[in-house]
Amino acid sequence: MSDDKRYDEWTDGPELDRDDPRRRAASEEAEVQARNEDADTLRERQRLAQLEMMDRWIGGVLVEQRRSRRWKLFFRFLFAVLILSLLATSLYSLFFAGMTPSPIGPHLGVVRVEGVIDGESEASAERINKGLQRAWENDETQAVVLQINSPGGSPVQSQRIFDEIRRLRQTGDKPILAVIEDIGASGAYYVAAGADDIYAAPASLVGSIGVIYSGFGLQGAIERLGIERRVFTAGENKAFLDPFSDIAPDQRQFWQQVLETTHQQFIDDVKTGRGERLGDDPKLFSGLIWTGEQATELGLIDGLKSLDQLARERLGEARTRDYTPALDPFERLSRQFGRVAAEWLGVPQTASPLRYELP
């Protein structure tokens, strides 16, 4: 029977001394193989890590692209809805809202004066006067009513509305009335003074017959900051309202005369509109503002009534029709954008610095 054991040089071979060159060569060869195996393993791990990182990056890019596409679609849809809404509103205001309403029987024709009275606002003289004319020309309108809720505004715009009310009153016997809601002050009261009668709620704010100009004196501030103001003018008083320059005593006196002249125009027209109904209180034209109840005692208004009460009193029921012209949304948006842009850029406004308005 033969021996089936295989020959193993490590166990069956001759025992080598530790310093034998053959033993050292075998040891070095084993170390090289181990290092080679470790390097291959490391390279494989690095390759796998890079592949995993690449997969994650590609996945992130795809997710971001999908998210970006969704936001693009959302904003495109929102923009389309906005454009369609503006177009629909414009078509409505152009073809329907601007039309004179058909008669509904005897009624009160209402024209709303809301917000600051200004050439670029909703309460401009052009818009209010157009509404007054439309209400006046309808034969079913028993009276034209100015529904006022305004702190005042431009002297020129207020004067234009006042003059149109007076002109219409002289062309027929249809009454023009004013109803003050929360507030009818300064230029808004100027407008109301042109009506035949003025009514308000007991807690309404009425009056403020005065003129105001406000600004800032910043010359000391720029001096402390080391800023030099450079203004070139032709005319020694051209820049006397510049907030970064001093106002000389004669300039201050001149500007006060301008305010007083404008104030006197206000007073004269109020006296013309109200006549002998005005009281003789010396504070009437001092710029003070009163409640509706106090204003009745001073002769600034004729009674304490709301629009509905006025309609029921004259018609037996609250039947009114709004004749205020509708606003073109594109024009309104462009005006607001232009005003905001001018404020940010510091572009001078065309409105007068004098105001019949509460501060």
How much is the pLDDT for 352? 63
Q: How far, in Å, CA of 243 to CA of 220, rounded?
A: 10
DSSP state letter for 116: -
Amino acid occupying residue 262: T
More confident residue, 110 or 337: 110
347 — pLDDT class (breaks 50, 70, 90): very low
Rounded to 10 deg, the angle between the 21-92 and 329-345 helix axes is 120
Whether residue 3 is predicted with pLDDT greater than 70 in this model: the reply is: no
Residue 171 has pLDDT above 70, yes or no: yes
Mean pLDDT of 231-246: 83
Mean of pLDDT over the chain: 82
pLDDT above 70 (res 98): no
φ/ψ of 51, rounded to 5, equals -60, -40
CA distance 314 to 318: 9
What integer pLDDT is reported at residue 276 of this predicted model?
A: 93
Tens-digit pLDDT profile for residues 292-331:
999 999 999 999 999 999 999 988 888 899 999 987 655 5
Question: Higher-confidence residue: 37 or 132?
Answer: 132
- Range from 41-50, 176-185, 254-263 carrying the lowest mean pLDDT: 41-50
How far, in whole angstroms, is CA 155 from its chain's centroid?
23
200-227: per-residue pLDDT in tens? Answer: 999 999 999 999 888 877 777 877 888 8
Mean pLDDT to the nearest integer, 333-357: 56
Contact residues for 155 (Cβ-Cβ < 8 A; gap 6+):
187, 190, 211, 262, 265, 266, 352, 354, 355, 356
Q: Is 261 helix (H, G, I), strand (E, B) or coil?
A: helix
Max mean pLDDT among 7-21, 48-62, 324-338 falls in 48-62
Could you tell me the pLDDT band of residue 245, with boundaries at 50, 70 and 90?
A: confident
Q: Which two tokens stand for residue 25?
A: 């060569």
Decide: helix, strand or coil at residue 50: helix
Count of C-beta atoms within a 10 Å radius of residue 286: 11
Max avg pLDDT among 44-48, 101-105, 263-267: 263-267
Q: Look up the pTM and report it.
A: 0.68
State the Cα–Cα distance between residues 169 and 212, nearest whole angstrom.
30
pLDDT band at 131 (very low <50, low <70, confident <90, very high): very high
User: In whole angstroms, what is the distance from residue 225 CA to residue 194 CA?
Assistant: 51
